Amino acid sequence: MKHVTTATGAAIPALGYGTWRLSGPEAYRGVREALDVGYRHIDTAQLYGNETECGQAIAQSDVPRDQVFLTTKVWRDHLDRDGILRTTDESLARIGSDYVDLLLLHWPNARFPMEAALDALVEVQQAGKARYIGVSNYPSAMLAAAAARAPITTNQVEYHCLLGQQAVLEVAAEHGIAVTAYCPLAQGRLADQSVLAEIGEAHGATPAQIALAWLVGQEGVAAIPKSRNAERIAENFAALDIALSADERARIDALPKNQRTVDPAAFAIPWDPS
């Protein structure tokens, strides 16, 4: 099983720890536990309100900062040049670092021209405040336009074995862009999938581990599962050791791919058909 996804020179640990909806001591504890288990990819965002705790957890762990691939995201209300530059500096201050490994634009916003937002993102990168840059929740046509404007490393989207992202994956592959899967466990909707349970039984693994192995076994795909539970954090990380057969992957491929847990329409984003 691959442990790293590469794009635009970045080596992104294929399995990261997501922190959406974690706050305060819970976020700190989750990141510390993830680092202790072996995760080296931590995902946060301005919107999550936990950049401080993520930064403290990294700084107070035994893992050197340069061994952690840290992502944060600029919220969609700040996608003008001044907003991106200002809030990036605010993020870095909260994190306690002079750079992040990856800085993303968090959801498109028609109020702000995409080209200007991408130019500002490049400006942040050139200033050394972000090693790599990218986007989040960009449908395929928008991703192609972004790739023509800036060196996009990843597009972070909802992606799991019950939701297809074929159009995004094709554009990403064409432009050498990684796809990072958030909500990779479909927010708990996988437990009743008998296919995952059957495959898991053959591997001595849980359905969640099989779902993660299916994702990170794909070329150019990383995943960032979240959990509050220390045992589950470790179980998720162990998915890196599972190698699915072609037949097993085909069975998972055949599952319905139309079950969203996050609605792009809430952000006025028309998405590709599943």
Active site residues: 48
Nearest to 252 by CA among 199, 175, 186: 199
Q: Which secondary-structure segment (H or E) carries 5?
A: strand 4-7
SS3 158: strand
8 Å CB contact between 163 and 146: no
> In the Cβ-directed half-sphere of 271, how many Cα atoms lie within 13 Å?
22
8 Å CB contact between 236 and 209: yes
8 Å CB contact between 133 and 153: yes
Three-class DSSP labels, 220-239: CEEECCCCCCHHHHHHHHHH
Residue identified by tokens 């470790």 is: 234
CA of 157: how far to CAs of 76, 180, 271, in Å?
Answer: 15, 6, 11
CA of 67: how far to CAs of 88, 149, 255, 259, in Å?
Answer: 21, 29, 36, 35
Q: Which secondary-structure segment (H or E) carries 106?
A: strand 100-106
Q: For residue 116, what are its two tokens?
A: 């200007």
> In the Cβ-directed half-sphere of 10, how many Cα atoms lie within 13 Å?
32
